[in-house]
């Protein structure tokens, strides 16, 4: 029977070793040093979504030979998860004598009033046989008392590394398409990377989405692009609420975090003295997007509030 994950390229082609991870050379060298020493510290990985934080955490464990437990903190963020699943895992000794590792994915969604403070004690109590790796998009949401117990690694890609990382993405996508026996045009891969970079997860998902009958067919009209956001900007400036709502309906199928990020980047140069108000509004609604049931309503609400409170002009 085929494994369900065989059909999800993000999982099927997730790197299992640090050597296979697409990272800036300085960061990869650091992790290779950790593997050589065979000793993991308690760590905090921060950076934009889809950039490889969770893949690196798992690859580190694989390379060192540590058994690990992954907790998706955006779904399991209550104190009961700590008291049951995590405690049960950390209180048992590993078979090979290596430390166990708890990977708390999207840890910025953990309850800051109960779970994060409790984890301080866990890190110290089980230090003899367990390590913790936290991944997050926003480091500032992790309480300082917890951050002080972790080695922080920033995954955001610096300007001088972007071209090399993009080339790495390009080669990996070609490898995936060739492995799946998909016919493709290299320019289509470049188009997707240029629109979605640095979110490699989104790049892979977008590529897979546009594969039809073993052929990659990019529908450029439906891929989120800069022209689309320029159109939205014009609608906002002219106070065309109905047009704005129609824009949301036509574009909401993309990655909501990427959409909000692109709105931020597009609107900032035209907000004048209202930039602070714009940033606060977008930040609030980006946070809400992690919890709301209907992303369309949330995005329309954000744009409606921007339309009413921020003076956008060319």
Task: Judge whether 279 lies within some domain.
Answer: yes
Instruction: State whether 33 and 140 are in the same domain.
Output: yes
Q: Is residue 314 part of a domain?
A: no
Is 56 in the same domain as 187? no
How many CB atoms are located within 10 Å of the residue 158 CB?
Answer: 10
pLDDT of residue 86: 87
Range of the domain at 96: 4-154
pLDDT at 59 over 90: yes
Q: What is the CATH number of the domain that holds 68?
A: 3.40.50.300
Asked if residue 140 and residue 18 are part of one domain, the reply reads yes
From its phi and psi, is residue 270 left (phi > 0), alpha (psi between -120 and 50) or beta?
alpha
Flag whether pLDDT at 241 surpasses 90: yes
**Sole residue written with tokens 């956008």:** 312
Same domain, 64 and 190: no
Sign of CA dihedral 39, 18, 15, 65: negative
Q: What is the pLDDT of residues 86-102, one digit of tens each?
A: 888 988 877 788 899 99
* Cα-only R_g, the chain: 21
pTM exceeds cut of 0.85: no
Say if residue 207's pLDDT is above 80: yes
- Give dist(CA 85, CA 47) in Å, integer: 26
Same domain for 43 and 184: no
Residue with tokens 């997007």: 289
CATH number at 170 reads 1.10.8.60
Q: What count of other Cβ atoms lies within 10 Å of the Cβ of residue 289? A: 16
- The CATH number of the domain holding residue 239 is 1.20.272
Residue 108 has pLDDT above 60, yes or no: yes
Contacts of 49 (CB under 8 A, 6+ apart): 137, 199, 201, 202, 255, 257
Q: Are residues 15 and 140 in the same domain?
A: yes
Please enumerate in sequence order all residues whose Cβ is within 8 A of that of 19, keeping only pairs 6 or more positions apart, or say none: 32
Looking at the fold, whether 146 and 164 belong to one and the same domain comes out as no
Which domain-ending residue is among 109, 130, 154?
A: 154
Asked if 233 and 267 count as a contact pair (C-beta separation under 8 A), the reply is: yes
| DSSP 3-state of 133 | strand
The per-residue pLDDT for range 290-309, each reduced to its tens digit, is 888 888 999 999 999 999 99
Q: Both 170 and 195 in a single domain?
A: yes
Q: Output the six-digit token pair for 44.
A: 């905090």
CA distances for 15 relative to 23, 94, 221, 231, angstroms: 12, 24, 32, 38
Whether 123 and 247 share a structural domain? no
Digit-coded pLDDT (tens) for 158-185: 989 999 999 999 999 999 999 999 999 9
Q: Specify whether 138 is located in the same domain as 15.
A: yes
- CB contact at 8 A, 137 and 47: yes
State residue 1's pLDDT score: 39
Checking if the pLDDT of 282 tops 80, the result is yes
Is residue 21 scored above 50 in pLDDT?
A: yes
Domain identity same for 23 and 140: yes
Model confidence band, residue 259 (pLDDT cutoffs 50, 70, 90): confident
**Number of domains the chain is built from:** 3
23 within domain boundaries = yes
- Is 55 domain-assigned? yes
- Say if CB 67 and CB 93 are below 8 A apart: no
pLDDT band with cut points at 50, 70 and 90 for residue 258: confident
Same domain, 208 and 288: no
In a domain, 133, yes or no: yes
Cα separation, 1 vs 152, in Å, equals 41
Joined together, the tokens standing for residue 234 give 């014009």
Cβ contact 193:168 at 8 Å: no
Instruction: Examine the fold and report which residue of 216, 240, 264 is the final residue of a domain before the chain moves on.
Output: 216
**Last residue of a domain, which of 106, 133, 154?**
154
Strand 215-216 and strand 100-105: pairing? unpaired
Mean pLDDT of the chain: 89
Is there a domain that residue 221 lies in? no
């Amino acid at each position: 029977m085929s494994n369900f994950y065989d059909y999800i390229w993000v999982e099927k082609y997730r790197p299992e070793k640090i050597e296979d991870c697409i990272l800036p050379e300085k960061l990869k060298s650091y992790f290779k040093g950790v593997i050589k020493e065979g000793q993991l510290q308690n760590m905090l990985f921060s950076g934009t979504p889809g950039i490889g934080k969770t893949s690196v955490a798992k690859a580190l464990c694989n390379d060192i030979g540590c058994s690990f437990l992954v907790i998706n903190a955006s779904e399991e963020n209550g104190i009961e998860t700590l008291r049951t699943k995590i405690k049960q895992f950390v209180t048992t000794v590993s078979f090979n004598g290596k430390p166990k590792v708890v990977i708390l994915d999207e840890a910025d969604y953990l309850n800051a009033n109960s779970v994060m403070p409790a984890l301080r004690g866990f890190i110290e109590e089980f230090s003899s046989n367990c390590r913790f790796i936290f991944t997050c998009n926003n480091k500032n949401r992790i309480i300082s008392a917890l951050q002080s117990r972790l080695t922080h690694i920033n995954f955001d890609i610096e300007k001088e590394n972007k071209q090399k990382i993009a080339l790495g993405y390009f080669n990996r996508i070609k490898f995936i398409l060739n492995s799946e026996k998909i016919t493709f045009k290299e320019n289509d891969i470049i188009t997707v990377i240029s629109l979605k970079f640095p979110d490699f997860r989104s790049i892979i998902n977008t590529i897979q989405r546009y594969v039809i009958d073993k052929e990659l067919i990019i529908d450029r009209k439906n891929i989120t692009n800069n022209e689309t956001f320029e159109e939205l900007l014009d609608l906002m400036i002219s106070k065309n609420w109905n047009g704005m709502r129609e824009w949301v309906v036509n574009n909401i199928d993309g990655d909501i975090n990427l959409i909000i990020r692109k709105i931020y980047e597009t609107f900032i140069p035209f907000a004048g003295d209202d930039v602070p108000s714009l940033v606060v509004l977008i930040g609030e609604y980006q946070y809400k997007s992690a919890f709301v049931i209907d992303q369309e309503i949330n995005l329309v609400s954000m744009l409606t509030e921007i339309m009413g409170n921020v003076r956008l002009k060319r």
